[in-house]
């Protein structure tokens, strides 16, 4: 090796710090739990504000327009059923609701049988040839989330270092 820097920490405080950081696996569940909690709360805030990842307002739904409510919050099930799952190498959050992907990505729906789709919106029945549900993205990490997650990680590392 033409050029190298070697650091040795023989029974010093540096060795203790490196050992603590080396035990990351023992603490990572706590870190991922905090990140998952942030992700769920941030995603729920998008429902409260009716805005996508870029801060753009969602297109108002028929039901919200007819009833004067909020888009995506008729029963609140999608917003309230957001959860996180710890993984061995990280955390994921989202919804297990069958319609979550349609709300997020949008959809074009046509009748399976017959010429029309019939459904109720706000207590009124509609009969249409097709339905276009716009995308209302709610999952993801925006710049504010990224900064918050980095702060969580930094605080986590600080806590580990303080415990040595």
Token readout for 84 is 């996180």
Per-residue pLDDT of the chain (164 residues; tens, 9 = 90+): 445 454 554 556 666 666 777 777 778 888 899 999 999 999 999 999 999 999 999 888 877 787 787 877 777 788 888 999 998 888 999 998 888 898 899 999 998 888 999 888 767 788 899 989 899 999 999 999 999 999 998 888 888 777 76
- CA atoms of 69 and 76, how far apart (whole Å): 11
> Could you tell me the pTM of the whole model?
0.77
Label residue 61 exposed, middle or buried (CB < 10 Å: 0-12, 13-18, 19+): buried
Radius of gyration of the chain (CA): 24
């Amino acid at each position: 090796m033409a050029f190298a820097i070697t650091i040795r920490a023989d029974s010093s405080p540096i060795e203790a710090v490196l050992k603590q950081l080396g035990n990351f696996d023992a603490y990572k569940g706590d870190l991922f739990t905090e990140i998952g909690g942030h992700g769920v709360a941030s995603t729920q805030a998008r429902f409260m504000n009716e805005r996508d990842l870029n801060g753009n307002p969602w297109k108002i739904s028929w039901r919200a327009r007819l009833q004067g409510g909020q888009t995506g919050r008729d029963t609140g099930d999608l917003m309230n059923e957001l959860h996180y799952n710890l993984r061995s190498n990280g955390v994921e959050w989202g919804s297990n609701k069958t319609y979550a992907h349609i709300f997020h990505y949008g959809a074009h729906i046509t009748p399976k049988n017959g010429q029309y789709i019939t459904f109720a919106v706000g207590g009124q029945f509609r009969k249409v040839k097709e339905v276009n549900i716009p995308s209302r993205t709610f999952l993801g990490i925006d710049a504010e989330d990224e900064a918050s997650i980095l702060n969580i990680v930094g605080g986590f590392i600080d806590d580990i270092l303080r415990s040595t």
